[in-house]
A and B are shown apart, each in its own frame.
Chain A
Amino acid sequence: MIQTLRLVAALFAGMMFGLGLSVAQMIDPAKVIGFLNIFGAWDPSLAFVMGGGLAVNLILTPLIFKQARPWLADYFRLPAKTEIDRRIVLGGIIFGAGWGLAGYCPGPMITSLSFANSSIITIILAYLVGTWITQQALAWIDQRPSRLARA
């Protein structure tokens, strides 16, 4: 029963996220590039999307963490890493280049499948390939004992 409820909750969360991306027009890559185009004709909308999402979470997150545990799970799963390393900067720079190039980050890519055209499938496949290859590469690097490998 709780398994089913978990899946229903995940589906609900996903739908709300996808609806939010659509309402905010973040599924339009021109809106994303318009925001990043601060040296040209600038569209500030994306700042309001992030600001809206952030405001809601700044209020709700502390309240959620006051609970001993989540509604449908045993504990909160938060990222284990907290230190700032080179990877977080390097990854951000590479991610930002791809994001700025085509105007798609992972959420809008997937929501855009709701009006599937071949170009969405192209970028999603490339995104999945990039993810998979990097996961394999990082796993390989991290299991080597070398000090140099810990970039």
Chain B
Amino acid sequence: MEIVNFTPVPALIGGALIGLSAAFLLWSQGRIAGISGIVGGLTKPVRGDLAWRAVFLIGLVLGGVLYRVLGFGVGVDHIQPVVSPTLLVLAGLLVGVGATIGAGCTSGHGICGLARRSPRSLVATLSFMGSGLVTVFVVRQLMGVGA
């Protein structure tokens, strides 16, 4: 196995910030910081339960803006999607369908759920990790897309 582009320090610092955000949301609002859950409450709205979700998502964008304001814009300017627009649409649909059926995504199950030692979240995390590994193997290694 060949290791490439490994950035452990930013990964740990960024991960800790994500973790602190999730802990803060739980402590202050009693809510799980699962992004797909927060979005799902907007596409299936319940009265009186919309504003905090919208504001959290605006914050999510502003966090990216803050990163640039702090002077790291150079690092993100080169970022491009790695697949064609058609595959982006397919990927977006799959992520939406899967996160809704599976009641959570990388953050809700992979960080918050595992931290609560939820067996359900463990099964979800293993399922999407396994499926992601297989998908990348098939698409990148076997079919050679983007290689």
Contact = CB atoms under 8 A, between A and B. Distances in A.
Of the four ranges (under 10, 10 to 19, 20 to 34, 35 or more), the interface on chain B belongs to: 35 or more
Contacts of B126: 92
A129 B110 CA distance: 23
- Classify the secondary structure of B's interface with A: helix
A79 B116 CA distance: 11
Contact of A14 (B56, B129, B132): B56
Interface residues of A, number: 115
A113 B80 CA distance: 13
Interface in A58-112: 58, 60-61, 64, 67, 69-79, 81-84, 87-107, 109-112
Given A93-B127, A94-B101, A113-B61, A107 B35 contact: yes
Contact of B4 (A43, A102, A132): A43
A51 B89 CA distance: 30
A129 B97 CA distance: 9
7 contacts: A9-B24, A15-B59, A37-B141, A64-B26, A102-B83, A133-B97, A135-B43
